[in-house]
Amino acid sequence: MERWNLADEKCYTMPSVLHAVALDTNRRAYARKTVKMTTPDNQENSRFSDVRRAARLSVAPMMDWTDRHCRYLHRLLSHQALLYTEMVTSPALVRGGALHLLDHSPEEHPVALQLGGSDPQELGAAAKIGAQAGYDEINLNCGCPSDRVQSGAFGAILMQSPDLVADCVAAMRAEVAVEVTVKCRIGVDEQEPRDILPVFLEKIQAVGCQRVTIHARKAWLKGLSPKENRDIPPLDYALVHEMKTAFPDLHISINGGIATLDAARAQLDQGLDGVMVGRAAYHQPSDILSEADAVIFGSGVPRNPFEVVEQMLPYIERELSKGARLHQISRHMLGLFAGRPGARAWRRMLSEGANRPSAGPDLVQQALAQVTRQAIAV
């Protein structure tokens, strides 16, 4: 079994583990749990079908972070934002049969699966598996600059091969009824973004891609780590807005450096179709997501993070009964009270106690008691 040991190379969309298990056996097991796929014909009858509207605000796919426990928490904070999985490689699904990577709760919808790969046929097969698992969108990663991702010839390196990306998108669309989208950078290395990005978008739009998320930075494939690639290359929001003008029929979301709801709303007010938020949504989920429904979508009321914690308790109990450990869930909750009185005690109690074999919902309640309730304004 091959593992991707990326250590400090945390990237928004890095490869998942490849599991060497029998593909035929897994497919038979998977077939027994397949759910009905949302298609354009049945969308109106689905409570989680309006993915395009949900894409006004989305949470970026982040490896080691946006797992199913994280997404369940985020859905409690926002009923309408679009959520993304960690990236799953197409070989993991098609060759490795790692179908457990597709596990998710019904409550997570609308939720998109991000795939990594560069073989059109294999991506088509992986997209089909993902759609059959019930995902509302299949996204192709053309943005991660990790060396390990480059060695697999996918991620940001695909910005150099727009024709191949178009072939991949076409193959994926041929296999699924749900929307196939792309997440990309504005360019890589010595490429001139204003020259190559329009060509890239034109190629994928020509094969039917109607929605794209653009990280408004170049990626340097050599010389910068994934962490540095999130911060050092300058942001070029203006170029993304130029692309919206040049491609008015293309649904364009912007990503990169957006850390507040006010900043997200400003991008929408300037004419973009959507905003994708990454680290801020993870580290300060209440600040970004608890008011998102009201501020971004114009409906709903702000979520009280105390109530969200209480709503997490039955989920925690259920997952622990299946063999999960508390820290696998509570680690995503550490930032819920960021910047508020008692937040440090909340984080410390969960960080120090959640790894204990006996840790459960009682520990979460004890940690919650450390936070000053009057400090929460909703």
CB 144 within 8 A of CB 12: yes
Strands 111-116 and 179-188 turn out to be unpaired
Q: Which two tokens stand for residue 159?
A: 């910005």
CB 111 within 8 A of CB 166: no
Task: Please report, for residues 33, 227, 242, 265, 334, the alpha-carbon distance to residue 270 in angstroms, rounded to integers and kept in the order given.
Answer: 43, 29, 11, 9, 33
Say which of 70, 144, 168, 184 is annotated catalytic: 144
CA dist., res. 202 & res. 209, Å (int): 10
The answer to whether residue 184 is catalytic is: no
CB 114 within 8 A of CB 83: no
CA dist., res. 354 & res. 356, Å (int): 6
- Residue from 239, 216, 238, 242 nearest 229 by CA: 216
Contacts of 100 (CB under 8 A, 6+ apart): 19
Active site positions, annotated: 144
